[in-house]
Amino acid sequence: MTSDWAEPRQSSDERSRGGVGRRKGQRQERSYTPQRDASRKEQNSKAADGGYAKCMAAGVRLLAGREYSRLELANKLSRRFSAEAIDAVVAELVSLKVLDDERYGEAFCRSRVERGYGPGFIARELEQNGLGTELVEALLEPYQEQWFERALAQAQKAHRPKRRSLQNPSDPLDDAEFVQDDAFLEAGPSASRDDQVDDQWKERQKARGRLARLLARRGFSGGLASKVIDQVLREAEAKAGSDSNFD
């Protein structure tokens, strides 16, 4: 008597492999081995070490040229290297005292002060490059007594009042002044004096506005700029008066 159920017969290939065969194209899963995992980690470590070394070399080259802040150097390196490599390099350079925000700030302040910039401009630049408010204030403290003289030098250099010259009558500017003087004479002494005062006031206001904009761009405060402009205009008017008396 036979049974209705029979075990499926294996093919000769399946019997030779000791089990059911894989479908065509199916990949066999690789078994985990400690040796393979260690090898993979070693390769990744070597790749990371290579990026770190190149990033470190680039950072040292940049610092050989001038001082950088931590943020400024990181931004510079970010064009070529990963964030992980940059973080490691910056931390290492800081620990070695090669990269220092305070030293960078001191060098930056000296450079900008000598070039005629005021505290507002310098503070903005330092904060944009990652320095904190307290550090910025400490860096600017030694210059507090210099701001007026620094601003005055910039305003004096920029203010060039128009001067009348009688040495070269063919000069178009001088010709225009002569024509204007003739018009004053024809209009009468009272009218010429009023018009002259009005023109002087307009020129003074133009000069004040021009100097105020200059000092604001340079980073000097409005109150300081006002005092500086008053002195510059007084000096210019006194010099113009002495020159006219000499003539």
| Model confidence pLDDT, tens digit, residues 190-244 | 556 666 667 788 888 999 999 999 999 999 999 999 999 999 999 988 887 665 5
pLDDT at residue number 168: 46
For 146, which DSSP code? G
Helix axes 70-77, 83-95, angle to 10 degrees: 140
Counting as low any pLDDT under 70, the low residues of the chain are 1-50, 161-197, 241-247
Number of Cα atoms under 13 Å in the Cβ half of residue 138: 10
| Distance from C-alpha of 154 to C-alpha of 210, rounded to nearest angstrom | 12
pLDDT at residue number 164: 46
Q: How far, CA to CA in Å, does 89 sit from each of 33, 79, 105, 130, 240?
A: 34, 15, 20, 17, 61
pLDDT at residue number 237: 85
78 Cβ neighbours under 8 A, 6+ residues apart = 86
Chain-centroid distance of CA 141 in Å reads: 21
pLDDT at residue number 40: 55
pLDDT at residue number 238: 85
Prediction pTM value: 0.65
